[in-house]
Structures are given as structure tokens and as C-alpha cells.
Structure 1
């Protein structure tokens, strides 16, 4: 049976923030940005909300009809990172992100700058910013269905796709969908690596 997917709107804001907060609470990168369980519980959702605001304004949010999984996508044109919609690594965007989420936490700003530096600039592509599945529904194929939903369009339109895997487990999932590691990790200072991954469209 297929997974029903729809485009999220403003009315889905709280649902998507909650999904992302729960799905990424124990993610290695989230743990680095917000070290400590209680601190992360108080603050992590603010970053998820800020990311969602950017994608609702600039891109597209897909959500399963039952509300158990979501994916945030941006259509990125060719050009330098600070010229592209939705990037958080430019000199102003990264600072504004930190100030709106957690002003005293430099890691909020740094993770945006580092991922922006690694982001390919020479070709237009679809960027999978985040994908979240409710903890009780992980392993059911919902994430795969959400990604394939856009990859099928990429293949039809001849568009590549890009993402940063934040764990070895997610990297393996993305490899099964045709993504390949670009060869250089994003290394967070005293923290976990992230794996930039690229997928060429399939005929």
C-alpha cells in the first residue's frame, strides 16, 4: 500500500515542528548544537521552528497524510551560496538564525556556516534540508516514501538532489536511494561529522 503524501501549509506548523523536534532530539548533530538533555528539551524546538519558517517561505514541506513524517525541500538555483534562497550560512542569515533561536549559542550559527560552505553551487538541484519521522513510526518506510516522492520528479525533470546526512544510519538509507558521499565530511568542532551527499538524476 502506498503512503499518502500532501503539501503542508501554515496550519501544519505545530505538527511539523513537533515532528522535527521529536525526530531529531537524539540526533548527533542536535546533541552537539544543544548539549545536555534538559537544555536541548528547552531549546531544540526553536531551531526546528526557524528551519520550518525558512522552508515554508522559500520551499516546500511534504507531510504524510497521517501526520507521522515530514520532509523539508528547497529548490536551489545555480550560483554562490549567499545568492541562493534559503541558505543560512551567509554573514547575516547565520547571525539572525542564532539570535532568533539561542543568542548565546555560537553553534547554532556555526552549523549553518559549515553546511553552507559544503553546499554545491554550480548546478541547480533539489535540497533535502530535513526529514523527520515520529519515533514510534521509524522503520516503516515513511521516510523513504517521502524522499522518493521528490526523487521521482527529479528523475523526470533531469534534476540532481543534495543533502547532508547527520548519522551513519541515515547515510546508509540515502545511499540505498542513489545518493553518494561527495568525499569530504562537514566536521563540527569536537563534534560528529556530517556527510554531504549528491544524487544524479536517473534516466
Structure 2
């Protein structure tokens, strides 16, 4: 049986942010950004909310009909013109979410530096599956739906895998390594990954 997927809107914000908060609370990258559990429980949801807003503004959010899984995608054009270069996204995100936490800005700078800028692509920023529903193929279904469109339209796709386990899943979907891994200072490793569109018949 197929997985029913729909496009999320502003009215889904509370539910999707709650899902992201729950799914990523103990993720290695989240625990690096917010090393103290008490502080993480206070501020992590605000970061997930900022990511929801960015995805809604820069791309789109797909959600399973039952709300158990969601994927945040950005539609990334070729590198912005010089006039846009003065916008400091990582610093603005830190100021909005957790001004005293340098790591919010550090991870943004590291991922921005690794992100390809020479070709338009779909960027899978985050994908979350409710912990009690993991292993059912919901995440794969969300990704595959977009990759099918990428293949039809000749679009590339990009992401950063935040664990060796997720990297294996993405490799199965056609992603390959895109440059050197990202090593967060005294923290976990992330793997930039790129996918060329496949020819459709």
C-alpha cells in the first residue's frame, strides 16, 4: 500500500515543529548544537520552528497524510547575486533562536560553505519520522516522491547525512559523496551528498 503524501502549509506548523522537535531531540547534531539536555529542551523547538519557516519560504514541506513523517525541502537556484551576499543567514538564525549559542551559527557556516552553488537543485534539509513509526518506509516514500520529480525535470538533489546509517539509506536512493565530510568541532561528522537526475523512460 502506498504512502499518502501532501504538501504542508502554515496551518501545519505546530504539528510539524512538534514532530521535528521529537524526532531530532537526541540526534547527534542536535545534541552537539545544544549539549545540555535542559537547555536543548528549552531551545530546540525554536530552531525547528525557524527551519519550518525557512523551508516554507525557500521551498516546501511534504508530510504524510497521517502526520507521522515530514520532509523539509529547499529549492536552491544558482548562487545568489553579489547584492544578496550581505545577508548573513547563520548569524540571523543564531540571533533569532539562541543568541548566546555560537554553535547555531557555526553549523550554519559549515554547511553553507559545503553547499554546491553552481547548479540549481532540490535540497533535503531535514526529514523526520515519529520515533514509534520508524522503519515503516515513510521517510523513503517522502524522498522518493521528490526524486521522481527530479528525474522527470532533470533536477539535481543535495543533502547532508547526519549519521552513517542515514548515509547508507541515501546511497540506496542514488546519492553519492559530495566532497569531504563535515566534522563539527569536537562533535559528530556529517556527509554532504549529491544526486544526479536519472533518465526516465
Pick the TM interval, shorter chain: over 0.9
68-77 or 177-186: which moved more? 177-186
Q: Deviations over 1:97-125 (max 9, x none)?
A: 10111010000011111000000011111
Q: How far does residue 90 in structure 1 lie from its aligned partner after superposition?
A: 6.9
- Between the two proteins, the alignment pairs up a number of residues equal to 199
36-45 or 120-129: which moved more? 36-45
- Residues 121, 83 of structure 1: alpha-carbon distance in 2 compared, 3 angstrom cutoff: farther
Provide structure 1 residue ranges, at least 5 long, that are not aligned to the other structure.
none
The answer (yes or no) to whether the contact 1:81–1:119 under 8 Å persists in 2 is no
* 2:4 is aligned with 1:8: no
Q: How far does residue 37 in structure 1 lie from its aligned partner after superposition?
A: 1.8
Partner residue in 2 for 1:66: 66
1:1-203, aligned counterparts within 5 Å? 1-80=1-80, 92-203=88-199
Q: Distance in 1 between matches of 2:49 and 2:83?
A: 23
Q: How far does residue 83 in structure 1 lie from its aligned partner after superposition?
A: 7.5
Q: How far does residue 92 in structure 1 lie from its aligned partner after superposition?
A: 2.2
User: SS in structure 2 opposite 1:194?
Assistant: strand
TM score, norm. by length of structure 1: 0.94
Q: Deviations over 1:7-54 (max 9, x none)?
A: 000110001101111111111100100002222111111100001111
Provide structure 2 residue ranges, at least 5 long, that are not aligned to the other structure.
none
- Residues 6, 128 of structure 1: alpha-carbon distance in 2 compared, 3 angstrom cutoff: same
- Residues 83, 198 of structure 1: alpha-carbon distance in 2 compared, 3 angstrom cutoff: farther
